[in-house]
Structure 1
Amino acid sequence: MDVRTKPREIGRKSLDVEALKRSFVEWLVYSVGKDLRSATRRDWFATAALAVRDRVVDRWMDTTRAVYAQDAKRVYYLSMEFLVGRLLTNSLANLGIMDACRVAADGIGVRLDDVIEVEPDPALGNGGLGRLAACFLDSMATHHLPGFGYGIRYEYGLFEQRFEHGWQVEYPDNWLRFGNPWEFPRPEVLYPIQFYGRVEEVRDGSGRKSYRWADTEKVFAMAFDTPVVGFGGQTINTLRLWSARATSDFNFGHFNEGDYLKAVEQKVLSENLSRVLYPNDATEVGRELRFKQEYFFTSASIQDVLRRYGQYHSSFDQLPEKAAIQLNDTHPAIGIAELMRLLVDQHGLEWEHAWDITTRTFSYTNHTLLPEALEAWPVRLVERVLPRHMQIIYEVNARFLQRAKRSTGDLARIQRLSLIDEHGDRRVRMGNMAFLGSHKVNGVSALHTDLMKQTVFADLHQEFPDRIVNKTNGITPRRWLHQANPPLARLISSRIGQSWITDLELLADLKPKADDETFQEEFRRAKRQNKKRLAAYIARHVQVDVNVDSLFDVQVKRIHEYKRQLLNLLQTVALYNDIRDNPTKEWVPVTKIFAGKAAPSYQMAKLIIKLINDVATVINQDPVVRGALKVVMLPNYNVTQAEVIMPAADLSEQISTAGMEASGTGNMKLALNGALTIGTLDGANVEIREHVGADNIFIFGLTADEVRELRQGGAFHPREVIATNPRLKRALDMIASGVFSPDDPQRFRPIVESLYNTDHFLVTADFEEYCNTHAAAVELYRDRTGWTRRAILNTASVGWFSADRTVKEYASEIWGVTPVLPGSAEPAEAAPPLPDASREGGSRGDAPKDGGDLEAAE
């Protein structure tokens, strides 16, 4: 054994109970600095994390060495969000040592479940975008695909949501308060990020023109690495997050003059870049900060990619064969201009050569058809903050439009193709930029991809008919069934073995069990166990007692008008009225469960949250209802809370306005855990219906084509629809008159007036069919056998919606990467440095020595 490469091979790396127990005690004493009597639960969490991390590092380095040895192509996944969830349970499960760790903890008087509860959710994301990124990292590592995630190490993340008198109030989510035992700081991996300044045109001795970005303000991006453990623990990939560091921490002169705030002003301003996820962009200052955040992490990531590539290659010709950069939405789209800047300005490539390399390296995932979510930055902002990039964008645009004009004389079409929106306040269309600079552009469900071709990218699709492809989203079965739902996971494994954990389509072997009475009873027992856990969680967090035998009707997602929490709530009020009108009827008890955050500046969404909480207060306190209906709004929705909710759900609400949800992944998680979907034909609901069968899903409402026709035809008049539907009108009248807000009867007038006057998201149009479909679902719930059969078929039929399948499709059809199994091979010989590479390098502008980041698992 070579102790230089395997310093803790003996004892400390073993996965057996005794070795784990010994590691726990050693880490507690020698790293945490406590003994067994004085240790708190938080001490034990740090101890357990460090002991588990110990067992990851050698495998992490083996993975890195294998990738270098084969000079393998890597995926670089750039995302503003990585909603990874708690890492202790994930690491234990993927290493296969959950039971051994539990026994080892018990042996020293510690309850592992108590320790797990101490870990905070890393506040690195908001919703589906960030959770998808985390699922993809898990799947890449599980299936040995060389993958690297790049994002921002937010100090406070989005925000912690609390309810005060029913209103959402945002508090800092200080998840790093007690440190993060999973991350490895890399102070030697430090890149300069520039802003502002001016651009100088210079010429060399031969008269060749080039550009120099001068008089800039700089900040450093410092790397923090977190290992991503694949299932089985054989491949460990990396999530690299960037933290902003000031070029000068402290101005001693200002301090001596007594201006203490000025002394640290530069440090504070610089480090704001990695302070908060999605700063409020309702102000110009907030918009600028968000734009700078996007460039900050994108520039650092691309500099890192080029530095790593340059260690073993002497020209950039092979970059597209060695690096696949995936843009997760438009947030990192400025990376296209950044790579062009680095290749042309820093490394001297000709424009056409650099553009060819750039377009073959990048690919772009679109996540939305909502115009406001397809970022468009004011030209004046880009010119001021990134003047050289604006020049590059102009050049890219001019060359592209010159080509486009050769095929069309349609001025309106040329204007739509342009990277610059010339209407009003001129803006840079980042969606068009991402599309033009990528060799593949993918949607995230079949319907979404078709709509991309027909709507937001119709003109670009005509120019590049082979560029748009579909890659329907998926979820990791490790997190969302194996870890989140142990009762059901054990039941499944007892019947078909454990191979489903890495090949989810094997769940299809459960289909014959759907009519097996014994299996049905065990399936119900697992569901009830999960419902009891959720009921206890609800009682603990919002002090509402819910009936475990009621139908758990769940809508958990970001609060947004297009997701139509309002439609669900209006049906809830209508059902409340029905129960009050017929109190002696034998009602199927229903528990409505909501959770989700509203963006701080999104006032209508925050008002919807207040309405949900006010409706819940009235219904839950009404003695006439007598438990037939309960309404719960859980605060601070995150991955950990979702892991409690998803396994307990009976009915999954996926009721967005058709044509507006790109895919959804909550729909997949809930169906996998045996919930029946009630939803529109939107996003991946279309494909879920195809897989589970029309009899095992509750579909209602307008289709995407019907929505488009209704909006364009001008024939939709919500006031007339409301007038013809007494149940809907009664519900709206109650909300408008203050039945749910007696302290302020006018509080919800904006919601009611919006529905009466415009109803852009067609809540009133779909209300009646939604109510009828919901009633059919509730009626089916009376039939225990019929409901359980359909629930089993949902679990058995959604194996295709695995992130493993999605990532493999990306790998073969977009990225061109193949699996690399860790081995003992030494890394390839380093190449001579690339021309001028040190000008954009690592530690304070200088590239690390060859192989330097290999020894630190990069």
Structure 2
Amino acid sequence: MKLSKKQFKQDFEQRLITKFATDVTKAGPQEKFAALASVVKNYYSKIWQADNEYKDESKKKQTYYFSIEFLPGKMLKSNLLNLGILPTVREGLEDLGVDLDEIAIIEPDMAIGNGGLGRLASCFMDSLASTGLPANGNGIRYRYGLFKQKIVDGYQVELPDSWLDNGNPWEVRRSDKAIEVRFGGEVWLEDDGKGNLIPQYKNQERVLAVPYDTPMVGYENTTVNNMCLWRSEVPKDLDLQFQNLEYMRQTAMLSSELYPDDSNYDGRLLRLKQEYFFVSAGLQRIMRHYHSTIKAPINQIAEYIAVHINDTHPALCVPEFMRLLVDEYNVPWDRAWDLTVKVMSYTNHTILSEALEKWPEDMVKTLLPRIYQIIVELDRRRTAELLPKVGATLVHNTRIIKDGQIHMANLSIIGSHSTNGVAKLHSDLLKDVELHDFYEIYPERFNNKTNGIADRRWSQIANERLSTVIDETIGKTWRHNLNDLKLLEAYKNDTETLERLDAAKFDDKQRLAELIKERNGITVNPEAIFDVQVKRLHAYKRQLLNVLHILKLYFDIKDNPELDMVPRVFIFGAKAAPGYHYAKSIIKAINEIAGMINNDPEVKDRIKVVFMENYNVSLAEVIIPAANVGEQISLASKEASGTSNMKFMLNGALTMGTLDGANIEIFDAVGAGNYFKFGLTKDEVYAYYKNNNYNARDIYEQNPVIHRILDAFIDGTIPNISMEGPEIFDSLTTYNDEYFVLRDFKDYVRAQKSLETLYRDKTAWTKATLMNIANSGRFSSDRTVREYAEDIWYIKPKQ
């Protein structure tokens, strides 16, 4: 949009008066933020309205992306950038004596996600709007985010993430579009005299789902898509006798907390209830819109609507869509099933068995009786149809209901026309191993869509310094087409360009060093290697392998106090699930090791270890640009894709990685010498599984370096881990090291030595940095969503 600095200043000052009855000299930071957000919202509202009218009038097919979590982070700068007014607003505020960055920091992270899954969903929302593709997000408006992490005496402590305390300036409450969702009670089928079985309900619990719409502004275009988040409320017409405190509390809980504790029955029931809540509300809203606006026959709905199931949490889309078609729109069962499969598509995000959701039959039957009936009938009909075609073994292995449980991944695959993995290795594993029986039956449904990232946030917003260097080197076309970063390769031997890239990285490292000093009280050297591992704390991501290497370096210094080594700053950021005791023990160990090393005078500044609490999108936007190395060290075959690896690459960090997830495609993109590869391959991992011949205890007994490191966890070397140390030690020895940390340790140390050698050659290192940036174009989520649009959803961009 076109906006003069003069006009913006007038708008901003006027909004302070009308909203807060104050002026810029007297307004506080929160008032300035609220006024600025209100001005920006006004700027895009006309574009939003026009785009909504265009979509309604053109009746183009739209995608609805169902995800239990979204992790957008802060929206202010993103909206300013995408509207094309970020420099104008920054300069206008400066004229008024206001620093945009000081205002932006006031905004709370919209942190209604856990990690990669929610961040991917948000990257997709950004890219769908920025590529002009008509799409909508659908999720839950959690009152509290995952949790706010505090580190107290080295331990993770979870506090409520009350991100809505001051409201959300970007959302629009649509109370007139509220929808009722029903749970429990009794349901039975009665013949209507015409051969149709009509469901009858009794004693159901009613919950009102109120949509809050948040606009997703496209980058310098006229598309503004919608992310709908649902809040649970008590229906206004409910008899007062039913509005007791317990009912009101349970209703509020539905949209209160992301991932409630599932270690007990009530917690699991609440999770299942949340999943149906946002699925039913979202699909009912789609059907209302289709009926009121599209006005096409119901049997043509697949020509106008695509519904995407992001991981298994929205798997109930399949039976709920069937319920709506069969019960509400009187579509015959077989026709309804055909429409459902055409409308639905599914992304699998994991091969970890504990992450593939299964729900007890009795729980589903009690909470969702009609949905249970539909699932049973789907399973029965499919079994009868396929038995004579493919045989009992394949049918049994792929049933929706098995051993008293409903398998949500199976439901998603069977009820969709497309199932995709999120990196080539992951998709191959799904077809060849984990979902091979399904692939045998439905080979045409399987495909790969390698993940991507919204480069606007992770470069243009998070790293303005680097973005400016790129602009001045190759022009600005890369901001619209990330593949144009390839033009940087022509400058890989240009001394001036390399020096400017290095200076930009140093600035980012200084910024992070200041934050570390402020938050952790630790002084770090910006000249050191910033070696970063930021992601969810989980055993398969192997933060522990990183820790063992840090201890090796520490013991090397203790053995040789004059050891010449390139200084290292090891930076961790990670949250452990509240009920995941082992992961929390690793966090405690990291913090105690940090205290031990950082305060040892013999170490000096050669090693610093920093654990940054409450890792979120905003913190990532400071850490990732400053990284020299991104640790992507999961056991091969365990990480579906990873997206932090792509963010590090885009920001000129080199990958230390296994041949896992999208690492393989990153290695292929950047070329030899520009990454550090180590560890077992997927085939070697599966050979160990097949032969059952891995013996971690033997490695511990036979390798004196590993022996010494592991003993540090149980002999008092590492302080204050009398409980956690033995737990970690036993996991790697007694319980045979599930993720082969000890097996990969030697090769990891070799790769780390190669890293240190390359870093000593400043020119060679910066060339490798340039090559990573130059080849990151293929990992834009713009590319990913275009592939989804063309191959799965069949939607077209706005012309």
> Per the alignment, do residues 342 and 214 of structure 1 end up closer, same or farther by CA in structure 2, a change over 3 Å counting?
farther
Of 531, 545, 561, 2:523 maps to 545
Paired residue secondary structure (2:733):
helix
RMSD: 1.4
SS at match of 1:241: strand
Partner of 2:330: 348
CA distance in 2, matches of 1:268, 1:286: 14
- 1:278 aligns with 259
State the distance in 2 between where 1:486 and 1:37 align. 28
- Distance change (3 Å), C-alpha of 1:15 and 1:631: same
The partner residue of 1:687 within 665, 671, 677 is 665
Separation in structure 2 between the aligned mates of residue 337 and residue 185 of structure 1, nearest angstrom: 28
Which residue is equivalent to 1:633? 611
Q: Is the 8 A contact 1:329 1:367 kept in 2?
A: yes
Deviation at 1:431, TM superposition (A): 0.2
The residue correspondences of 1:655-674 to structure 2 (distance < 5 A) are 655-674=633-652
Q: Tell whether the 8 Å contact from 2:588 to 2:721 is kept in structure 1 after alignment.
A: no
* 2:641 match: secondary structure: coil
Residues 248 and 267 in structure 1, CA contact (< 8 A), matched pair in contact too: no
Q: Is the 8 A contact 1:250 1:264 kept in 2?
A: no
Aligned twin of 1:394:
376
- Compute the displacement of 1:360 (Å): 0.1
Q: Bigger CA drift: 314-323 or 25-34?
A: 25-34
Query: 1:142 and 1:240 mapped to 2: Cα distance?
Result: 18
> Match of 1:417?
398
Aligned residue number for residue 62 of structure 1: 50
After alignment, is 213-222 or 566-575 more displaced? 213-222
Q: Mark the CA change 1:409 to 1:106 in structure 2 (over 3 Å): closer, same or farther.
A: closer
Which residue is 2:271 aligned to? 290
Q: Distance in 2 between matches of 1:241 and 1:696?
A: 42
Aligned AA for 2:467?
Answer: A
Whether 2:68 is the aligned partner of 1:80: answer: yes
- Return the alpha-carbon distance in structure 2 between the equivalents of residues 209 and 112 of structure 1: 62
Query: How many angstroms apart in 1 are the aligned matches of 2:221 and 2:256?
Result: 32
Q: Does 1:571 align with 2:549?
A: yes
- Tell me how far 1:736 sits from its aligned partner: 1.5
For residue 365 of structure 1, what is the aligned residue in structure 2?
A: 347
| Aligned 8 A contact 2:657 2:676 in 1 | yes
Q: Does structure 2 retain, via aligned residues, the 8 Å contact 1:200–1:214?
A: no
SS at match of 2:609: strand
Provide closer, same or farther for how the CA distance between residues 249 and 310 of structure 1 changes in structure 2, counting only shifts above 3 A: closer
1:4 paired residue number: none
Does structure 1 residue 704 correspond to structure 2 residue 685? Answer: no
TM-score relative to the length of structure 2: 0.98
Q: Deviations over 1:327-385 (max 9, x none)?
A: 11000001100000011011111000000110000000000000110100111110110
Q: 1:799 to 1:744 in 2, by over 3 A?
A: closer
1:725 maps to amino acid: N
Alignment partner, residue 388 of structure 2: 406
Contact 2:418 2:446 in 1 (8 A): yes
Aligned equivalent of 1:555, options 512, 524, 533 = 533
Partner residue of 2:131 out of 143, 163, 172? 143
Q: How far off its partner does 1:404 sit? A: 2.2
Match of 1:841 in 2: none
Q: Does 1:725 align with 2:703?
A: yes
2:627–2:653 CA contact under 8 A, matched in 1: yes
Aligned residue among 42, 50, 59 for 2:30: 42
Q: Structure 2 CA distance, aligned partners of 1:485 and 1:111? A: 17
Matched to 1:684, the amino acid is A
Give how far 1:596 is off.
1.0
Identical aligned pairs, as a percentage? 43
SS of the residue corresponding to residue 144 of structure 1 reads: coil
Q: Do structure 1's residue 197 and structure 2's residue 185 form an aligned pair? A: yes
Instruction: Give the match for residue 326 of structure 1.
Output: 308
Matches within 5 A, 1:492-503: 492-503=470-481
What is the identity, as a one-letter code, of the residue corresponding to 1:268?
Answer: R
Note if contact 1:447-1:682 (Cα within 8 Å) is conserved in structure 2. yes
Opposite residue 744 of structure 2, the aligned amino acid is D
Q: 1:708 corresponds to which letter in structure 2?
A: Y
| Distance (whole Å) between structure 2 residues aligned to residue 65 and residue 250 of structure 1 | 35
SS at match of 1:552: strand
TM alignment of 1:588-603, pairs within 5 A: 588-603=566-581
Relative to 1, partners in 2 of residues 1:208 and 1:190: Cα closer, same or farther, differing over 3 Å?
Answer: same
Residues 384 and 250 of structure 1, relative CA distance in 2, 3 Å threshold = closer
Match of 2:625 in 1: 647
Partner secondary structure for residue 297 of structure 2: coil
* C-alpha deviation, 1:744, in angstroms: 5.0
- 1:429 and 2:411 are equivalent in the alignment: no
Q: What do the CA deviations read for 1:81-128 (whole angstroms, capped 9, x no partner)?
A: 111011001011111211111122122222211101101101211111
CA contact (8 A) 2:359 2:407 kept: yes
1:32 corresponds to: 20
- The SS at the match of 1:162 is strand
Contact 2:473–2:497, Cα closer than 8 Å, also in 1: no
Does 2:589 correspond to 1:611?
yes
Alpha-carbon distance, 1:775 to partner: 1.3
Q: Deviations over 1:380-410 (max 9, x none)?
A: 1101100111111111111111222112334
SS in 1 for 2:320: helix
Shift of 1:234: 1.9
Partners in 1 of 2:65 and 2:453 — Cα distance? 16
Cα 1:539–1:281 change in 2 (3 A) is same
- Residue type of the partner of 1:289? L
CA distance in structure 2 between the partners assigned to 1:302 and 1:251 by the alignment: 27
Going from structure 1 to structure 2, the CA distance change for 1:784 and 1:391 (only over 3 Å counts) comes to: same
Q: Does the 8 A contact of 1:86 with 1:121 survive in 2?
A: yes
- Whether 2:693 is the aligned partner of 1:715: answer yes
What does residue 5 of structure 2 align with? Answer: 17
Asked if 2 retains the 8 angstrom alpha-carbon contact of 1:249 and 1:266, the reply is: no
Measure, in 2, the Cα distance between the counterparts of 1:444 and 1:252. 49
Any conservation in 1 of the 2:589–2:721 contact (CA below 8 Å)? no
Q: What are the equivalent positions in structure 2 for 1:696-845 lying under 5 Å apart?
A: 696-741=674-719, 743=720, 745-757=722-734, 758-821=736-799
- 2:163 pairs with one of 137, 159, 175: 175
> How many residues were matched structurally?
797
2:281 aligned with 1:300: yes
Ranges in structure 2 where 5+ consecutive residues have no aligned partner: none
Work out which of the residue numbers 374, 378, 387 in structure 1 matches 2:356.
Answer: 374
1:724 Cα offset (Å): 2.0
